[in-house]
Amino acid sequence: MAAMLQPQIILLKEGTDTSQGKAQLVSNISACTVVADVVRTTLGPRGMDKLIHDDKGNTTISNDGATIMKLLDIVHPAAKILVDIAKSQDSEVGDGTTTVVLLAGEFLKEAKPFIEDGVHPQNLIRSYRTASYLAIEKIKELAVSIEGKSLEEKKSLLAKCAATTLSSKLIGGEKEFFASMVVDSVIAIGNDDRLNMIGIKKVPGGTMRDSFLVNGVAFKKTFSYAGFEQQPKKFLNPKILLLNIELELKSEKENAEIRLSDPLQYQSIVDAEWNIIYDKLDKCVQSGAKIVLSRLAIGDLATQYFADRDIFCAGRVTEEDLQRVAAATGGTVQTTVNNIIDEVLGSCELFEERQVGNERFNIFSGCPSGQTATIVLRGGADQFIEEAERSLHDAIMIVRRALKNSTVVAGGGAIDMEISRYLRQHARTIAGKSQLFINSYAKALEVIPRQLCDNAGFDATDVLNKLRQKHALPSGEGGLFGVDINTGGIADSFANFVWEPAVVKINAINAATEAACLVLSVDETVKNPKSESAQGEAAASAMGGRGRGGAFRGRGRGMRRR
Amino acid sequence: MALAFDEFGRPFIILRGQEQKSRLRGLDAQKANISAGKAVARILRTSLGPKGMDKILQSPDGDVTITNDGATILEQMDVDNQIAKLMVELSRSQDYEIGDGTTGVVVLAGALLEQAEGLLERGIHPIRVAEGYEMACRIAVEHLEHIAQKFEFGVTNIEPLVQTCMTTLSSKIVNRCKRSLAEIAVKAVMAVADLERRDVNLDLIKVEGKVGGKLEDTELIHGIVVDKDMSHPQMPKHIEDAKIAILTCPFEPPKPKTKHKVDIDTVEKFQTLRLQEQKYFDDMVQKCKDVGATLVICQWGFDDEANHLLMHRNLPAVRWVGGVELELIAIATVREGGVYTPCILRGHRFLAGLVREKSFGTTKDRMLYIERCANSRAVTIFVRGGNKMIIEETKRSIHDALCVARNIIRNNSIVYGGGSAEISCSIAVEAAADKYPGVEQYAIRAFGDALDSIPMALAENSGLQPIETLSAVKSQQIKDNNAYCGIDCNDVGTYDMREQNVFETLIGKQQQILLATQVVKMILKIDDVISPTDY
């Protein structure tokens, strides 16, 4: 009987899931909208935070779109695109991660009825692309440059940008305090793109007002051996030696073995080893340095040796901190103690060990090159400090961006409303389907002010209508009006110093449009059956087997040696 | 998270393991979080104040802790809920920063949450509540500065410090002898304080405890107490004017760190090796003797042969002394001459007035006292008590007292306790509330009400009529324009805390209000909790 049947042609592996066509596209859009809904409420100064904890028990409380998206662990293939654009916005400009996801979600939502009505996705895509191009041109035109201002003026302008970013975060209550701190630190590192020169140290305890900026480097006291307390803890204008070697009594060569036939020589070997380390220590002292830092361990012998000579030392300083100290003090990290010349030694005005909360901190301040800054964050809970760090990171990125291409636009949804108006106006000049699509693009842009209102508990329709009216004024004077978060009305965002760097908006619109177009252009998903996980398990068990074998072998060898 | 359905009505998965995750959002999430926070605060509420009760906590392996200290209670409770954990951390950071007031901060946070719940139910946006709290917090902190008083103390005049420490200790189980403990704490802090830099390194104060004796036997030793005895029972137990050699090297022939082998093929060679080792011990002892040491304190151990030799050469020794203790000994004693031997033996002579071994009661326990050190920058507080739990609790109480003394040295402003500062702030906040337009006004007023909860809890715990007492005190504060009226917990007969000598540090109180507000803001700001269901 079976032979009688037509042979079935099997193209794809058994269990492969394929879905295609319009239905698939619509379902992809729904998935993206669901994801956008998750971060929706975090937008703006009245945005709420999310508490996410995973199976391992790690808890994160965050307001940052990119962080939330990352932690949601999204597996839906189309929705993953949104995670990616949030990430790319984060790495490109650092802020506006919620905005970008929200915009992409809204673009798709607006596209959905058209798709359902049978519009070809490519038509939509083309119109969206045009719209985004027009929008970006408009932003560039509307942006206000802060170039050519004096440093003082610039500082206060940058602080405004930082404050706008911070206002939506947990530390929004102290935004002026942190904004000026961020601006100072970004200006301190100069024009170099070395973001790792801004260190952020977290110390639980205290309130956020207790956070402070060190114009130099600060790091937690490292593990110390007996004798450390005998060292002086404060220096004025010390010379600093930076090392990348161990100052410890240890075997010089791992693979060497000494064979002695005469027991009398035993002592000489011991002495030789001691001499090596003493020689090293002596050279450190000879260099005239008052502070010795090493990335590797500084043992108890060295600690006491230095203590005797009134030298401060710290071992196991992390690579990052050491690099920062090197940059700040003008020293160079040495991998040997031979031939230390004055040029490789760093210096700073003041070194001090200070109590911060429950920890002791080593603080180098008044550094000559001044290209580093360290922010010591304080806060009532671990999660709080973590979130504060993320917020500061956003602010730092914003300030850095604003410093580079120094144009700003009005925030609070003002710029979005203005572009929306402009696009609507433009759409009227177009004949054909495209008019509808650009109109819906313009409508999607209004999601930003609408969400700002929603999150603040205002009547979104009411506020939006007021805004539309202002922006439609023929004189164009209403172009800077955005949502006033304090009164529930509208206000001139620019005059109220709600500023965003133009690049954030440009990037957000760009990325969101790209993502929307990408989702729209997909009409088929082919999903392989779960072969991967099965393979993964097999691999894991094979690994386990090997691991056991290794352990057996290891033990065997040990026996033999004995 | 609700499942999304595609056009065919099939559900599709967006998040990994979506079905296993539970999600709370919106007002439900806030309510759940608030009730978790409140639950924690409720536990601590009864521990507040001089008449507060203690909690007994049993750890999984059966250790029992009895304590009144908020931070310790929460730490040992091992809470599971995320929001409750935030409260634990709140208390811990108060502990880190100030050291005292760990109960008060949680009670205040709980009260703030409770008030917020009411406001949320009336439909006020949580962020507006949080912002209102923040404004109110600023008013309160400024007001505290306004009513704070500077007070003078000096090396000779430590009475004010003692009074403040007594306030802290009065809420602990040790309040029986709070006077003497407070004096001990203050003297200890004064001994190690750097008054010019206003810096106190509490690491230099060692708190050691031993079961036995009574609480009154607790003493301050200007020196170090080590829980060790002489390495040989026949060594002298009492050394006057000791010269100590402190060794961080092992008291044994050194081994090269490089891999090595000694080929021994004849009996002679073996003999030489042995002799060499013996000679080495001999040398080491001699070197110690040469620098004039009359006592050797060694970080590591030495074997019986060395022990015998030391005994023989009449050089008392102590072995296995921990690194931290070693360091404290070095700080406490004065270094004499920089004798430095470039070989195996590194050591200085440290002068100590008296080293004696003391045994306790009928037990065989012995401890080593190093006293009358010339440079008493390191001190030890030696706690005695009836049982281990009392000693542990006393240690914690002394720690609180030490922190309070340190805070005053850092900043010598004080406010008055007994809830007077809170009541005064509450009055100030409520007066200021009327000036604010907008919804925040409600939140500010709620903040004022929350501040009242501290004196309320104090009164409750002291067995007074909470509302009656609070309103009496409040009216008196307003009537006399006197910000120093508080709850009369000890039934002295006056509301005036100046007469009762109940002080608290200004920074401690400010920190409490700031921290509590901060954490409450954080909790209020969460509207979405995503967690694995099995939680």
Residue A26 lies in a domain: yes
Section B158-164 average pLDDT? 82
CATH class for domain B17-150+416-532? mainly alpha
3-state secondary structure at position B10: coil
Would residue B194 show up in a list of annotated catalytic residues for this protein?
Answer: no
Pair A161, A198 in one domain: yes
Per-residue model confidence (pLDDT) at position B349: 46
Would residue A374 show up in a list of annotated catalytic residues for this protein?
Answer: no
Mean pLDDT of chain A: 81
DSSP string for residues in B238-305: EEEEEEEEEE-S-SS----SSEEEE---SHHHHHHHHHHHHHHHHHHHHHHHHTT-SEEEESS---HH
Pair A196, A59 in one domain: no
> Which chain A residues have a beta carbon less than 8 Å from that of B515?
207, 380
**pLDDT tens figures, B212-221:** 778 888 888 8
Residue A333 lies in a domain: yes
pLDDT category of residue A539 using cuts at 50, 70 and 90: very low
Number of cross-chain residue pairs from A and B with Cβ atoms under 8 Å apart: 243
Pair A167, A232 in one domain: no
**pLDDT tens figures, A150-203:** 778 888 888 888 888 888 787 877 888 888 888 888 887 776 666 677 888 888
Would residue B102 show up in a list of annotated catalytic residues for this protein?
Answer: yes
Contact A227 B330 (CB under 8 A): yes
Per-residue model confidence (pLDDT) at position B338: 37
Neighbouring-strand partners of residue A17:
A527
Pair A87, A166 in one domain: no
Would residue B533 show up in a list of annotated catalytic residues for this protein?
Answer: no
| CA atoms of B169 and A25, how far apart (whole Å) | 70
Number of folded domains in chain A?
3
List the single residue in B8, B125, B511 with the smallest CB-CB distance to A207: B511
CATH at A429: 1.10.560.10
| CA atoms of B166 and B168, how far apart (whole Å) | 5
Looking at the predicted structure, is the pLDDT value of residue A545 above 70? Answer: no
Pair A167, A277 in one domain: no
pLDDT category of residue A125 using cuts at 50, 70 and 90: very high
Pair A415, A511 in one domain: yes
Contact B4 A357 (CB under 8 A): no
- Answer whether B147's CB lies under 8 Å from B428's CB: no
Pair A317, A448 in one domain: no
CATH class for domain B223-375? alpha beta
Token pair in block for residue A449: 């002010």
Pair A310, A235 in one domain: yes
Looking at the predicted structure, is the pLDDT value of residue B128 above 80? Answer: yes
Residue A303 lies in a domain: yes
Which of A489, A505, A521 lies at the terminal end of a domain, its last residue? A521
Token pair in block for residue A113: 């009825």
Of A206, A204, A231, A240, the C-alpha closest to A317 is A240
* C-alpha pair distances (Å), A360 with each of A382, A384, A394, B219, B379: 18, 21, 28, 28, 20
List the single residue in A48, A72, A269 with the smallest CB-CB distance to B256: A269
Phi and psi angles of residue B511, each rounded to the nearest 5 degrees, phi first: -60, -40
Is any Cβ of chain A less than 8 angstroms from the Cβ of B529? yes
Residue A543 lies in a domain: no
Residue A529 lies in a domain: no
Per-residue model confidence (pLDDT) at position A105: 92
Query: Which domain covers residue A222, as residue numbers?
Result: 218-251+273-369
Q: Where are the domains of chain B?
A: 17-150+416-532, 223-375
Section B394-413 average pLDDT? 86
Contact A55 B532 (CB under 8 A): yes
Section B33-42 average pLDDT? 90
Contact B93 A380 (CB under 8 A): yes
Mean pLDDT of chain B: 80
Looking at the predicted structure, is the pLDDT value of residue B58 above 70? Answer: yes
CATH at A320: 3.50.7.10
Token pair in block for residue A39: 């971060």
Of A445, A525, A520, A431, the C-alpha closest to A126 is A520
List the single residue in A278, A380, A486 with the smallest CB-CB distance to B89: A380
**pLDDT tens figures, B291-346:** 777 778 877 777 787 788 888 888 888 888 777 777 777 777 665 543 333 333 34
Contact A74 B254 (CB under 8 A): no
Looking at the predicted structure, is the pLDDT value of residue A149 above 80? Answer: no
Residues 310-349 (B) with a CB less than 8 A from some CB of A: 323-324, 326-328, 330-331, 338, 340, 342-344, 346
Pair A236, A344 in one domain: yes
Pair A358, A469 in one domain: no
| CA atoms of A460 and A447, how far apart (whole Å) | 10
Per-residue model confidence (pLDDT) at position A130: 92
Of B284, B388, B369, B357, the C-alpha closest to B325 is B369
Neighbouring-strand partners of residue B351:
B243, B334
Pair A448, A387 in one domain: no
Per-residue model confidence (pLDDT) at position A529: 66
**Predicted model pTM:** 0.81
Token pair in block for residue A459: 């009547």
Question: Is the sign of the CA dihedral A404, A410, A412, A413 positive or negative?
Answer: negative
Per-residue model confidence (pLDDT) at position A20: 72
List the single residue in B90, B255, B326 with the smallest CB-CB distance to A381: B90
Question: Is the sign of the CA dihedral A62, A66, A67, A69 positive or negative?
Answer: positive
Catalytic residue of the set B400, B452, B488, B496? B400
